[in-house]
Chain A
């Protein structure tokens, strides 16, 4: 007879989480954050950074070793930009993993249901016609992009009405909507003057520009709520992997899970797109990198996609800021330039892709 102790150890062995890999990801994130803050047009010292950060903690007073100028750069430019990069990268990574799970399709990415085309169309309209839609700390372009993104996803869902239980219809509706919105976007773009068109294009390529902290304070709770909803549903993503029929026989309502997960992931993506433009690649590839490196369980994939996406975008943004200094590269271009070869090498040396 086996004792209760053996059962206990067997239980913990069977459901062991890859703590080491998870810690490694967090460590990587921390390293990237530090690198991102100290690298840039004006180099900051690591010691100066640490004293400045420790000084922020209440009741800790340290002599700042940064000059006033460097301190301002750190607090008003570097840190907000880093945090924005982390938020956007994390959102895209997590939304990508959720979409891939919900659609059971390794090619799914957060822009699948027309978020990108809708956001692009919104941005083109506002930039092209100089509309003023500003709200709170957000300028007209983010607001228009957000509205466009939500409109496109809603349209896709409306077309595929009632087919939350057949993801293929929704997916195709998304393709239709995306094509329509990008056609509209291209049409308007063509009508614009060169300078305005250039402005639109640089937005479309994706960038992490932020004017201070105000946007971020609004984004953090919003993204946190969406992220929590997705994390609360990652068990559902694992159940959905056996297909809708079996999921239902096991006691899950696949349509309801899918509706909630798609809604949360789309809201997350729309917010990310509205402040950063269309940063390709992160949402598609980060979840696959996590799968190859760690394991295939959504309880691990979802949070680690957020961490890895955040670290990846923050890392790539260092390149976008410094490679052609003093000017900047669109971060969306650099993500693909750095990410694609890395992903390709993982595919080449690794075990291939798994949905």
Chain B
């Protein structure tokens, strides 16, 4: 493989007593955006947490040089981060420096400068003194990113980074990630629920089901209507719009409205898409 930054071999892990990962083999390539998709409870979070070392596991998780990943190599953005009451944006971002500071030492001037440079980079300078609990969802996500960037790890692991955001903020955050991936030379692994969004942003997808990787490769290879319908246990259909993959539920309403898309739609009577 070319430029593998992190590889998992025979990764097996348990979560709450039952096996959440079975013999997972996965290579993460430098600079790629790898999307982890799969139904709830498939093992996406456990995989991310095993790579970070938060879950005890069997098998091997190695960096390119054979070391186990540490917080200076991989930064995890949890799905439901704890936002301490009263902590300011700057203090929260500074937590990202923890792994760089000795056990008994305090953060140095350099640590603080790295943090404020990151805050500047993410346009959070105006918010530095604000308590994080008072921020909006999109701002909170940017502050989390700031903490991860302050960690200066070359690989970001994101667990459902945009599940709490509306489509506008979701797009802003994901575009920011895409931009950072190039400017900061990051590798991104993210668990994602929205298959269309995952296919749009990720270079490569890995479909996880019952703790196993069922398929991995380019989005067009993994996003297969039949495979996804089986995995998600609901009929799905895959469409292409200008080479972008669109995954839709295959229900009667959608089927019937196939013709409707050619009909001019009255703005006062929009077609409801929810099944």
Contacts and interface: CB of A to CB of B under 8 A. Distances in A.
Given A10-B128, A245-B78, A250 B99 contact: yes
A251 B70 contact: yes
A245 B52 CA distance: 10
A19 interface: no
Contact of B120 (A10, A239, A247): A10
Interface in B61-87: 70-72, 75-76, 78, 81-82, 84-87
B81 A242 contact: yes
B112 A235 contact: no
B91 A238 contact: yes
Contacts of A248: 53-54
Interface in B100-144: 100-101, 104, 106-107, 109, 112-113, 115-117, 119-120, 125, 128-129
B94 interface: yes
Given A235-B101, A249-B78, A14 B95 contact: no
A249 B117 CA distance: 22
Contact of B151 (A14, A250, A355): A250
Contacts of A2: 120
Given A238-B91, A291-B86, A354-B85, A14 B99 contact: no
Contact of B98 (A13, A15, A239, A245): A239
Interface string A227-262: 000001101001101110111111110000000000
Contacts of A241: 82, 84, 87
Interface residues of A, number: 31
B72 A13 contact: no
Contacts, number: 90
B106 A15 contact: no
B82 A7 contact: no
Contacts of B109: 11
A295 interface: yes
Which among B53, B99, B112, B116 has the greatest number of chain A C-beta atoms within 10 A?
A: B116
Interface in A200-241: 232-233, 235, 238-239, 241
A320 to B, nearest CB: 33
A2 B99 CA distance: 28
Contacts of B82: 241-243, 246
A238 B85 CA distance: 11
Contact of B85 (A13, A14, A243, A296): A296
Which among B86, B106, B109, B112 has the greatest number of chain A C-beta atoms within 10 A?
A: B86
A211 B97 CA distance: 49
B90 interface: yes
Contacts of A13: 128-129
B128 A238 contact: no
B78 A251 contact: no
A153 B78 CA distance: 34
Given A14-B112, A248-B54, A249-B52, A232 B99 contact: no
Contacts of A242: 81-82, 84, 95
B161 interface: no
A322 interface: no
Given A14-B115, A15-B94, A251 B99 contact: yes
Interface string B234-253: 00000000000000000000
A250 B91 contact: no
B95 A250 contact: yes
A250 B107 contact: no
A251 B120 contact: no
A251 B116 CA distance: 20
A90 to B, nearest CB: 21
Interface in A315-355: 354-355
Which among A238, A248, A249, A296 has the greatest number of chain B C-beta atoms within 10 A?
A: A249
Contacts of A10: 116, 119-120, 125, 128
Which among A11, A14, A248 has the greatest number of chain B C-beta atoms within 10 A?
A: A14
B96 interface: yes
Contact of B71 (A7, A251, A291, A296): A251
Nearest to A13: B128
Interface of B: 52-54, 70-72, 75-76, 78, 81-82, 84-88, 90-91, 94-96, 98-101, 104, 106-107, 109, 112-113, 115-117, 119-120, 125, 128-129, 151
27 contacts: A7-B116, A7-B120, A10-B116, A10-B119, A10-B128, A14-B88, A14-B90, A14-B116, A14-B119, A235-B101, A235-B106, A238-B87, A241-B87, A242-B81, A242-B82, A243-B82, A246-B78, A248-B53, A248-B54, A249-B52, A249-B54, A249-B75, A250-B71, A250-B96, A296-B84, A296-B86, A297-B88
Interface of A: 2, 7-8, 10-11, 13-15, 232-233, 235, 238-239, 241-243, 245-252, 291, 295-297, 299, 354-355
Given A11-B115, A246-B78, A250-B151, 8 more contacts: A8-B113, A10-B128, A14-B115, A238-B95, A242-B82, A250-B98, A251-B71, A295-B86
